[in-house]
């Protein structure tokens, strides 16, 4: 296998990176600005020197537990200062961290842990973590670590440039998640890119199991900036605006979907943040226009890159009033982006080719999956001994060298910024004895609203139970991979070539079920208002008081839109978690009766008709 240092010499326009491990670069920054604030969490502030000391204490403990080069430590933690301390501590041991999401099903988490075989799991829910951890794995709560009293052994195990820094999971086409192995050199390349100004105050908004968090954490720390950790989920643009203003956040990363929702419901919320990077999916030029009109001084950028290339490979500074469509942009530091045909020849300007990426951000590959690594990480014909990653994305190069996205070359899809291999969802459903055939696709039946939809063919005349299928999916997959609808069909429609005719698959329906005979017919003004908001957000014709928002096609992104509209119309405090716990109109109606008034004035009065679609 080539060394990443060799890649640095092969790509044009490279920027020199400091020698040493990620821990070395971090400690150099500590020496430059020991008293600068490294992170903020509510009223708690931690300087670079304090973060250095706490992470050193923690690293010493982790080494006693077996952490070291090529040894993993899993992190099953919420977004708190302990998460950042633990990440830096693992890097100081020379080992790699494995960020996991607390909301993932236990069965899926257990599979991930078996794959990486960590020496330790750091978790606040120790009992839960112990139940899913591999045998012999140490589990402990980071809040029980005593700081300042541990023998601080400064002789860190110096990781090599190629040593693993973290392993992050993405959806896999084989029916199991893929473990992307990212090195110290990869993270240095991302964190020290010239696009990131020094000393920024950056909001830690992405889930730690999502690769955008790598940018939010390491680009900030290596640049001497401050990580702002929100104390609660930012489920509405008003929540975001409050945090941005209170903590003087000047850089924010959002998925394209969430950016679109916030732009629709409250574009004024972006006035207080100077720099916003959007990514994870195609960016809506209409959303860009709304935000730029409401916040004319804002700097907007579109970031593109797969997890296998360490978060960002290309970026584009969106000009005033945007463009249509928003391009992917041009290659970042120490990165080459190629548009190639099926014979790996570069295509002409204006022609569509498949996107391949080479450079210092290229991950080592997939952990414990040599064949899959060889399939996606291929030899680069444009540099001796170098590799490149086959993204599966299509693009075209404009005359000015900027690249535009042109779709996918395979069946992979993106929902709410998360990359999903439909085959992984199909594998779960095909494990049922009552399903003969299955296909999972992404549909956009309403502009800007993407859903996963599963189509199933039963093994006999009896239709599979919808609730049982959804329950099984939820037990094995994260919520963003659970289809919004499961449609039973008699047979898969086929093209003349014998392939599934995706265009002939019927659109799902999300219609309300009839109310019980004794249900009251007359609605209160607030129930009528909520009914109209549900209808508008879900894009359906009607909804009953006891119909579940998520059974009707809702997801977390639509729940964010729902909360924004309810807040604006009722002037009541409600967040996304309240919708998950009270997903029916009747329950939300009761919740609002006891909810506090919003600190902000209501933006609208009583809604008597469905709200206009964006």
- Give the closest residue to 285 by CA, choosing from 448, 437, 53, 411: 448
Q: Are residues 32 and 136 both part of a single domain?
A: yes
Q: Compute and round to an integer the Cα radius of gyration of the chain.
A: 25
The length of the chain in residues reads 614
DSSP state at residue 309: G
The pLDDT value recorded for residue 5 is: 36
226 in a structural domain: no
By residue range, what is the domain housing residue 70? Answer: 18-170
Tens-place pLDDT, residues 133-166: 999 899 989 887 766 654 555 455 667 778 999 9
Q: How far is CA 20 from CA 159, 364, 470, in A?
A: 8, 18, 48
Q: Are residues 475 and 529 both part of a single domain?
A: no
The pLDDT value recorded for residue 323 is: 63
Q: Are residues 547 and 430 both part of a single domain?
A: no
Q: Are residues 114 and 46 both part of a single domain?
A: yes
Tens-place pLDDT, residues 509-551: 765 555 544 455 588 999 999 999 999 998 888 888 988 888 8
CA 55/CA 78 separation, integer angstroms: 17
535 in a structural domain: yes
299 in a structural domain: no
The pLDDT value recorded for residue 113 is: 96
Q: What CATH number is given to the structural domain containing 590? A: 1.10.1200.10
Q: Are residues 547 and 438 both part of a single domain?
A: no
The pLDDT value recorded for residue 539 is: 85
178 in a structural domain: no
- Can you list the residues of the chain whose pLDDT is less than 50? 1-13, 150, 154, 516-518, 601-614
CA 363/CA 339 separation, integer angstroms: 20
Q: Are residues 163 and 22 both part of a single domain?
A: yes
Q: Are residues 449 and 576 both part of a single domain?
A: no
Q: Are residues 450 and 576 both part of a single domain?
A: no
- Give the closest residue to 609 by CA, choosing from 538, 546, 528: 528
CA 515/CA 521 separation, integer angstroms: 9
Q: What CATH number is given to the structural domain containing 426? A: 3.30.300.30
CA 397/CA 379 separation, integer angstroms: 22
Number of domains in the chain: 3
Q: Which two tokens stand for residue 100?
A: 């996991």
Q: Are residues 435 and 575 both part of a single domain?
A: no
Domain boundary among 170, 186, 205: 170
For residues 163, 217, 575 and 304, what is the CA-based torsion angle, rounded to 10 degrees?
Answer: -80
Residue found by looking up tokens 């208002």 in the block = 529
427 in a structural domain: yes
3-state secondary structure of 597: strand
CA 21/CA 12 separation, integer angstroms: 24
């Amino acid at each position: 296998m080539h060394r990443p240092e060799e890649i640095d010499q092969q790509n044009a326009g490279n920027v020199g990176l400091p020698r040493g491990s990620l821990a070395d670069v971090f400690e150099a920054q500590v020496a430059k600005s020991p008293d600068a604030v490294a992170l903020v969490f509510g009223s708690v502030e931690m300087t670079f020197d304090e973060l250095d000391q706490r992470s050193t204490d923690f690293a010493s403990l982790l080494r006693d537990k077996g952490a070291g080069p090529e040894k993993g430590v899993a992190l099953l933690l919420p977004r708190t200062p302990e998460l950042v301390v633990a990440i830096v501590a693992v890097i100081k041991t020379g080992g790699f961290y494995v960020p996991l999401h607390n909301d993932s099903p236990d069965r899926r988490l257990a599979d991930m842990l078996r794959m990486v075989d960590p020496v330790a799991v750091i978790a606040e829910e120790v009992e839960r973590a112990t139940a899913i951890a591999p045998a012999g794995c140490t589990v402990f709560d980071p809040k029980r670590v005593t700081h300042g009293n541990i023998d601080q052994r400064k002789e860190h195990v110096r990781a090599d440039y190629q040593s693993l820094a973290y392993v992050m999971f993405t959806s896999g086409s084989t029916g199991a998640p893929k473990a992307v192995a990212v090195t110290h050199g990869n993270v240095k390349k991302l964190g020290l890119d010239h696009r990131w100004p020094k000393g920024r105050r950056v909001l830690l908004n992405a889930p730690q199991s999502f690769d955008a968090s790598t940018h939010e954490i390491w680009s900030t720390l290596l640049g001497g900036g401050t990580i702002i950790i929100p104390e609660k989920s930012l489920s509405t643009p008003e929540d975001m605006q409050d945090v941005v203003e209170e903590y003087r956040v000047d850089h924010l990363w959002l998925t394209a979907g969430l950016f679109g929702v916030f732009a629709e419901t409250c574009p004024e919320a972006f006035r207080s943040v100077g720099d916003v990077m959007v990514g994870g999916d195609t960016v809506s030029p209409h959303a860009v226009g709304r935000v730029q009109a409401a916040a004319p001084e804002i700097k907007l950028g579109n970031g593109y890159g797969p997890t296998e290339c360490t978060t960002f490979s290309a970026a584009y500074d969106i000009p005033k009033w945007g463009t249509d469509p928003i391009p992917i942009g041009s290659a970042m530091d120490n990165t080459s982006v190629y548009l190639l045909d099926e014979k790996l020849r570069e295509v002409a300007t204006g022609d569509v080719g498949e996107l391949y990426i080479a450079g210092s951000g290229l991950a080592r590959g997939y952990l414990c999956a040599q064949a899959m690594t060889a399939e996606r990480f291929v030899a680069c014909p444009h540099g001796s001994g170098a590799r490149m990653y086959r993204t599966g994305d299509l693009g075209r190069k404009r005359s000015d060298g900027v690249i535009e996205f042109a779709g996918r070359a395979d069946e992979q899809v993106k929902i709410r910024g998360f990359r999903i291999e439909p085959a992984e969802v199909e594998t779960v459903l095909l494990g049922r004895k009552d399903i003969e055939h299955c296909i999972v696709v992404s549909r956009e039946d309403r502009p800007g609203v993407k859903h996963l939809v599963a189509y199933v063919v039963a093994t006999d005349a009896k239709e599979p139970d919808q609730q049982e299928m959804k329950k099984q999916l939820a037990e094995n997959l994260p919520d963003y991979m659970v289809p919004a609808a499961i449609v039973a069909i008699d047979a898969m429609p086929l093209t003349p070539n014998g392939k599934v005719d995706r265009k002939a698959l019927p659109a799902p329906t999300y219609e309300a079920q009839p109310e019980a005979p004794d249900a009251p017919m007359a609605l209160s003004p607030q129930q009528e208002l909520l009914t109209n908001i549900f209808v508008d957000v879900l894009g359906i014709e009607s909804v009953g008081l006891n119909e579940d928002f998520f059974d009707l096609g809702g997801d977390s992104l639509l729940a964010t839109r729902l909360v924004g509209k309810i807040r604006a119309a009722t002037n009541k405090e409600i967040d996304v978690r309240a919708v998950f716990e009270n997903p029916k109109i009747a329950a939300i109606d009761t919740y609002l009766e006891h909810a506090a008034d919003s600190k902000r004035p209501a933006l609208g009065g009583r809604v008597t008709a469905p709200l206009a679609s964006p």
